[in-house]
């Protein structure tokens, strides 16, 4: 090693003083699945639970990075410290530099009240689901007030991010085949706040009208949250203030009704499960080679056993 | 129930006679995670291992459905029975109708030598990874010679499909920001055969040149497979024959070198693991509500425990 590894305790202390490098180092430990993670997470426990985690998702082309940037500007104007976690599930190998770099180049790169980090969904199992909640925990403990978790809306990533967030903002834009776009990945179910970005373009009002109509189609019990549909022009910052207001209102509603607590329990459940599953896979040898599961797999592949019988044996082991 | 449930044994017998409705019924049992699946899978075991599983992936817009259709035509011309499994990971809720419907509408819909089915990646964990290998097992046991597994190349789905396949065909097209496209999700690592579709368009040769250059950059040991880069015009069927030839050559190479066996063991391993993990999640109560894991999650969310300690308790339970 080219530098001495710093004790988790010292790193946490420095992160809590807002030192970006210490925060970054802790997130690297999370990404690497470091052996000291257990100690890190235990050390962070007393300091978490204050940050508001806002998920930000939408199809490629709706202007996610610009919107993130506009929201950061608005939040900074309200004197809040902001974390941005850009999760790129399409980068299993690289670590997802593309998404993060775009943000890093932005105006906020040198603001000490903003911490920006991109993460790839490196491994398969336990990737996003283990590392993202742990990274959120680091940023939360570091005293950031709002954490924006940005993800490109492909595959199931938007659903995964929504499961992590206290409030989920879904971005759309005019002229992207919006009916299908809106229904496609169940975004109606996951959005707490909808934002039509690029609202200066033709068709913004009709997207808004369609979306509102779809939202009012769903049955909502008394007192349920009714997702607002807002318009923004992220490149100029227009509408960002209304989005932040709506996010605040959603948080207040969620705190009052117990929904915030429910979501945080769910997030903890997903995280616990991901850690447990990762531990099991290590035990089984799925992570490495030449272990219990390989012998069982050979038997199944050769037709001398079936997959359920093999799974039984694995669990009995 | 509106109709009597048929015994797995009888369904399997009918599927082995090539009856499409029985094959479809078995795949529905797979999708639903039916309680009789264990019996179904054990019943299929003697009949599997003959089909050649070909993964077909590529970014939206490269012409996956047309390419699938052209390959089916070519394979049918060689008197092979063909299964098509269209996996749509972007449909966590719907079951992925869009992708499959496009194929169903095609010329092959009424050919009894072709079985077409689309699957969504319904649940989160154990979705694609459990159901897809099981569906492949059904199609394999039904006596299909080649099974094309088509997936839209988003998120990690192409990597997942590559893990399932004996041979993976990666589709590209000119004019799609190809350098980045090729590198983005690590497709260089997963492709056994590369196909530049829409080869009648400008830029096809330069994509091919770039791709070949990238492929020759990687270190390859003596005797390793060198992925060919072919050109097709799927709408006319041009080049489909060369693709099928290349896929055959890859299979022959893989069988001879032991790579085929290795891949099938890996597929079995993934399947066993997915079944075991699904069983564990049910035991923990992650699937329903109000169980062991919920109490642990509440402790973590309230800060009275940390996620690693909770995972330890979960595993000790």
Mean pLDDT within B70-93? 84
| pLDDT tens digits, one per residue of B168-222 | 999 988 876 544 444 554 677 889 999 999 999 998 998 898 888 888 876 778 8
* Percentage of residues of chain A with pLDDT beyond 90: 44
pLDDT at A153 over 80: no
Smallest CA–CA separation between B238 and chain A, in Å?
31
pLDDT band for A130, please (50, 70, 90 cuts).
Answer: confident
Question: How many CB pairs (< 8 A) connect A and B?
Answer: 193
Indicate the class that CATH gives domain A48-263.
Answer: alpha beta
Mean pLDDT within B74-80? 96
| Maximum CA extent, chain B | 66
8 Å CB contact of B156 and A276: no
Residue of A34, A50, A191, A306 to mutate for B, most B C-beta atoms under 10 A: A306
* pLDDT for the residue numbered B186: 65
Q: Which residues contact A60 (CB under 8 A, 6 or more apart)?
A: A152, A153, A154
Smallest CA–CA separation between B200 and chain A, in Å?
27
* pLDDT for the residue numbered B92: 43
8 Å CB contact of A273 and B284: yes
| pLDDT tens digits, one per residue of A97-125 | 444 445 555 678 788 899 988 876 554 44
Q: Cα separation of B141 and B147, whole Å?
A: 11
User: Start-end ranges of CATH 3.40.50.300 in chain A?
Assistant: 48-263
Q: Cα separation of A72 and A66, whole Å?
A: 10
Smallest CA–CA separation between A166 and chain B, in Å?
13
Which of B286, B277, B274 is CA-nearest to residue B310? B286
Which chain B residues touch A186 with a CB distance below 8 Å?
A: 92-94
User: Start-end ranges of CATH 3.40.50.300 in chain B?
Assistant: 48-258
Residue A150 dihedral angles phi and psi, to the nearest 5°: -100, 130
pLDDT at A312 over 80: yes
Cβ distance A272 to B311 under 8 Å?
A: yes
* pLDDT for the residue numbered B180: 46
Q: Cα separation of B90 and B157, whole Å?
A: 9
| pLDDT tens digits, one per residue of A51-83 | 999 999 887 788 888 999 999 999 999 999 999
| pLDDT greater at residue B122 or residue A107 | A107
| pLDDT tens digits, one per residue of B264-310 | 998 888 888 888 888 888 888 755 555 788 889 999 988 888 889 99
Which chain A residues touch B285 with a CB distance below 8 Å?
A: none
Q: Cα separation of B38 and A305, whole Å?
A: 12
**DSSP code at position B202:** T
Mean pLDDT within A34-53? 91
Smallest CA–CA separation between A192 and chain B, in Å?
18
pLDDT at B95 over 50: no
* Percentage of residues of chain B with pLDDT beyond 90: 44
β partners of residue B207: none
| pLDDT greater at residue B96 or residue B301 | B301
pLDDT band for B153, please (50, 70, 90 cuts).
Answer: low
Which chain B residues touch A35 with a CB distance below 8 Å?
A: none
**DSSP code at position B166:** S
8 Å CB contact of A186 and B309: no
* pLDDT for the residue numbered B305: 87
* pLDDT for the residue numbered A192: 95
Q: Which residues contact B244 (CB under 8 A, 6 or more apart)?
A: B71, B74, B75, B78
Q: Which of B46, B272, B298 sits opposite A265 (nearest CB)?
A: B298
Smallest CA–CA separation between A155 and chain B, in Å?
4
| pLDDT greater at residue A307 or residue A179 | A307
Which chain B residues touch A98 with a CB distance below 8 Å?
A: 180, 184
pLDDT at B126 over 60: no
pLDDT band for B41, please (50, 70, 90 cuts).
Answer: very high
Q: Which residues contact A18 (CB under 8 A, 6 or more apart)?
A: A81, A112, A142, A143
Residue of A290, A308, A312, A315 to mutate for B, most B C-beta atoms under 10 A: A308
| pLDDT tens digits, one per residue of B215-240 | 887 677 888 899 999 999 999 999 99
The token duo for B72 is 């089916």
CATH topology of domain B48-258: Rossmann fold (3.40.50)
Residue of B190, B307, B313 to mutate for A, most A C-beta atoms under 10 A: B307
Residue A191 dihedral angles phi and psi, to the nearest 5°: -80, 130
Cβ distance B55 to B87 under 8 Å?
A: no
8 Å CB contact of A306 and B42: yes
Q: Cα separation of B171 and A247, whole Å?
A: 41
Q: Cα separation of B311 and A8, whole Å?
A: 20
Contacts 24+ apart (CB under 8 A), A103-110: A103/A65, A103/A68, A103/A69, A103/A150, A106/A65, A106/A69, A107/A69, A107/A73, A108/A69, A108/A72, A108/A73, A108/A76, A108/A84
């Amino acid at each position: 090693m080219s530098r001495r590894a710093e004790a988790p305790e010292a790193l946490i202390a420095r992160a809590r003083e807002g030192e970006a490098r210490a925060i970054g180092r802790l997130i690297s430990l999370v990404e690497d699945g470091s052996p000291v993670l257990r100690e890190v997470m235990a050390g962070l426990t007393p300091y978490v639970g204050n940050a508001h985690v806002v998920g930000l998702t939408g199809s490629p082309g709706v202007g996610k990075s610009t919107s993130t940037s506009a929201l950061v500007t608005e939040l900074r104007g309200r004197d809040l410290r902001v974390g941005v976690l850009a999760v790129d599930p399409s980068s299993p190998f690289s670590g997802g530099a593309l998404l993060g770099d775009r943000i890093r180049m932005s105006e906020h790169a040198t603001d000490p009240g903003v911490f920006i980090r991109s993460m790839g969904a490196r491994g398969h199992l336990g990737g996003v689901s283990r590392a993202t909640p742990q990274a959120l925990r680091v940023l939360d403990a570091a005293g950031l007030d709002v954490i924006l978790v940005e993800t490109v809306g492909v595959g199931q990533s938007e659903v995964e991010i929504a499961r992590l967030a206290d409030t989920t903002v879904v971005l759309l834009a005019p002229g992207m085949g919006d009916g299908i776009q809106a229904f496609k990945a169940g975004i109606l179910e996951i959005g707490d706040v909808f934002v039509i970005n690029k609202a200066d373009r033709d068709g913004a009002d009709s997207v808004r009208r369609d979306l509102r109509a779809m939202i009012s189609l769903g049955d909502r019990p008394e007192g349920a949250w009714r997702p607002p549909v807002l318009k923004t022009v992220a490149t100029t910052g227009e509408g960002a203030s209304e989005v932040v207001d709506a996010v605040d209102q959603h948080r207040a509603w969620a705190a009052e009704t117990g929904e915030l607590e429910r979501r945080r329990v769910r997030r903890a459940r997903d995280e616990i499960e991901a850690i447990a599953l990762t531990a099991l896979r290590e035990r089984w040898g799925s992570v490495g080679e030449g272990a219990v599961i390989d012998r069982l797999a050979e038997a199944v592949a050769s037709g001398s056993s079936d997959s359920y019988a093999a799974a039984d044996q694995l669990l009995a082991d």
